[in-house]
Structure 1
Amino acid sequence: MPEGDTVWQTARRLHSALAGRVLTRSDLRVPRFATADLTGRAVLDVTPRGKHLLTRFDGGLTLHSHLRMEGSWRVFATGERWRGGPAHQIRAVLGNEEHTAVGYRLPVLELIRTADEQDVVGHLGPDLLGPDWDPAEAVRRLTADPTRALGEALLDQRNLAGIGNVYKSELAFLAAVTPWLPVGELPSGVPERLVATAHRLLEANKDRPDRRTTTTRQPAHHLHVYGREHRPCLRCGAAIHRAELGERVTYWCPGCQKGPSGESPHTN
């Protein structure tokens, strides 16, 4: 599932290609909105909200999309051949005289009134890349249930909007605790540092082509633990482990991170 920085980059590409221009082509290939025609409407902006995308049009309409695991938006020069998957995977086409945005495999695509945007994103917690970022509120939400596993709390978009599976594993590593540790057992000051680190990392990576949480420039070492099962930890040399947390795969270092593990959840 794309993380908040990836969604932010997608929104920036779409905004650059569509905002301030009138649509000359509109095709929403989902049954509920198949007859909707946005041709002739100007795109006002494309705004990310956590992992959600809000494409706003004049006349008070918003196209709400979510990428989830496999969805993507691709931007092409008008007339250019589309490359993003077979035609049957296309869910949306928005085009103007210069660019065409094509949405592939979008699991969520709905046309709503702009005034009703809160119905689809109002449940989200503070947006790590949003203009209204509120670290104190993020800490309050993250620690509201002291019995909840840290990894689950980090992934809950009602706490912080924008953290996905990669950042979940990386943030737990940087906090030196396992993702299974109950939030209420985090050492003093760690929740605040976790939230600050999450904000810093997403801000740093929103302008990078490749996500990085380490300070090394070696391509193979751009992440501490995620995707590095059986490889040595960059800090202590212990083999990185992998297990399930809920329905999501999780990576951690048994040498650097303290707390319960997915392999033995009752052992500290």
Structure 2
Amino acid sequence: MPEGDTVWHAAHRLHEALAGEVLTTCDLRVPRLATVDLTGRTVLDVTPRGKHLLTRVEGGLTLHSHLRMEGAWRLYAPGEKWTGGPAFQIRAVLGNAAHTAVGYRLPVLELLRTAAEPKAVGHLGPDLLGPDWDPDTARANLLRDPARPLGEALLDQRNLAGIGNVYKSELCFLSQVTPWLPVGELPEPDRTVELAHRLLEANRAHPGRRSTTGSHRPGQTLYVYGRARRPCFRCGTPVRSAPQDGRPTYWCPRCQSGPTR
């Protein structure tokens, strides 16, 4: 599932290409939107909210999309070949005179009244990369269920919005606790929340070059994620991996204290 910095970058690129321009092409390829035509309307902005994308157009309408595991928005110049996948995977096409945005494999695509956006994203906690970021609220949300494993609590977008499986594993490592530690036993919850904000802020402008270690050298950008059975950068102990909440998680059994799978 894309992390919040990936979604922020996608929204930023879409905003630069579409905002302030009149749509000359609109093709929404899901049954309930098959008759919708937004051509002639100006795109006002494209805003990320956690892992959600909100494309607002004049007339008080918002096209809400979510990438989940495999979705993607791609931008193309006039005449450029579309390369994001076969045509049957296209769910949305929005274009103006200079750019065409093509949404592939979008599992969520719906048209809302802009005033009704809270129905789609109102359940989310503070956005790590948004203007509503509030570390105190994020910490309180995390600690609301003190018995819940930290990894699960970090992934719950109702607590704080933007963390995916990569940052979950990396934050647990940097906090020196396992992903199965009850969140109520987290020694420094304020520090973990601040680390989450700092990591996403540092990486949002560097698509494809995400780093939590400070290094951009191949194989050295992440402390534990994707490094099962490879030596921990800090202590040399082989990194371990196990499922958590249906997804793989990674940890160093020496550097991170707490219960394990």
- TM-score in terms of structure 2 length: 0.99
Shift of 1:80: 1.1
Q: Paired residue for 1:266?
A: none
Separation (CA, whole Å) in 1 of partners of 2:245 and 2:81 = 41
Q: Paired residue for 1:200?
A: 198
Q: Paired residue for 1:72?
A: 72
Q: Paired residue for 2:259?
A: 260
Structure 2: where are the runs of 5+ without partners? none
- The letter of the residue matching 2:237 is A
Shift of 1:217: 3.5
Q: Deviations over 1:25-66 (max 9, x none)?
A: 000000000100000000000000000000000000000000
Contact 1:46 1:56 in 2 (8 A): yes
1:235 aligns with 2:234: yes
Alignment coverage as a number of residue pairs: 260
* 1:98-247 equivalent positions in 2, closer than 5 A: 98-187=98-187, 190-209=188-207, 210-247=209-246
Q: What is the Cα-based RMSD across aligned positions, in Å?
A: 0.6
What SS is found at the alignment partner of 2:226?
Answer: coil
Separation (CA, whole Å) in 2 of partners of 1:215 and 1:95 = 38
- TM-score in terms of structure 1 length: 0.96
Shift of 1:184: 1.1
Q: Deviations over 1:106-138 (max 9, x none)?
A: 000000100000000000000000011100000
What SS is found at the alignment partner of 1:227?
Answer: coil
Q: Deviations over 1:193-231 (max 9, x none)?
A: 000000000000001131100023322110000000000
Quick one: percent identity of the two aligned structures?
Answer: 72
What SS is found at the alignment partner of 1:219?
Answer: coil
What SS is found at the alignment partner of 2:219?
Answer: helix
Separation (CA, whole Å) in 1 of partners of 2:62 and 2:94 = 13
* 1:8-23 equivalent positions in 2, closer than 5 A: 8-23=8-23
Q: Deviations over 1:173-192 (max 9, x none)?
A: 000000000011112xx110
Q: Deviations over 1:122-174 (max 9, x none)?
A: 00000000011100000000111000000000000000000000000000000
Separation (CA, whole Å) in 2 of partners of 1:246 and 1:26 = 38
What SS is found at the alignment partner of 1:131?
Answer: coil
Q: Deviations over 1:71-114 (max 9, x none)?
A: 00000002211110000000000000000000000000000100
Separation (CA, whole Å) in 2 of partners of 1:177 and 1:220 = 23
What SS is found at the alignment partner of 1:221?
Answer: coil
- The letter of the residue matching 1:214 is T
